[in-house]
Structure 1
């Protein structure tokens, strides 16, 4: 079953670290079967109106997304991010 990896950046504390993370994370997630669908700031907000950078990656399954997260390549990306942002990341299964 398809899964969605959703990351929201609540606060960017060090743009250089975020950039270093992005350079490593994208190829790591793509190599693990992820496809980037969207990333950036919202074009429109409703309700809480939070203007947070959001990234949406599609994986073939929840298991594939978990494996991508736990992979050495993605762990290297997380190490590069170390304290550079406050984020929320979740994986949800498609309906």
Structure 2
């Protein structure tokens, strides 16, 4: 079974305090669901139509595990803390094998 990657880019951050509250709760919720944060921060370099946006990449054992983490009660609570504090683009992508 291929691993899956949850990729989040932050188009804008309107409330840094809400983002901090979200981060404090979301990290443990994601880890409890089997997620492993691989990347968190702004790009060192962007090319072509790339945007200089905060990016987070989280690895899961499968697409189902990534979906379950997102839909979990613990992560949904974290989202409630974020509220309208940020505009994000989140994608779950299956990893390429081999």
Q: Which TM-score applies when normalising by structure 1?
A: 0.98
Check if 1:18 corresponds to 2:55: no
Q: What CA distance in whole angstroms lies between the structure 1 residues aligned with 2:67 and 2:21?
A: 22
The answer for the alignment partner of 2:44 in structure 1 is 43
Gapped regions of structure 1 (runs ≥ 5) = none
Specify every segment of 5 or more residues in structure 2 that has no aligned partner in the other structure, as ranges.
none
After TM superposition, the runs of 4+ consecutive aligned structure 1 residues lying more than 6 A away are none
Structure-1 residue corresponding to 2:10: 9
1:55 matched to which residue of 2?
56
Q: Distance in 2 between matches of 1:56 and 1:80?
A: 20
Number of equivalenced pairs: 95
In structure 2, how many angstroms separate the alpha carbons of the residues matched to 1:73 and 1:59?
A: 17
Equivalent residue, structure 1, for 2:72: 71
* Cα separation, partners in 2 of 1:66 and 1:49, compared to 1, 3 Å: closer
Superposed CA RMSD in Å reads 0.6
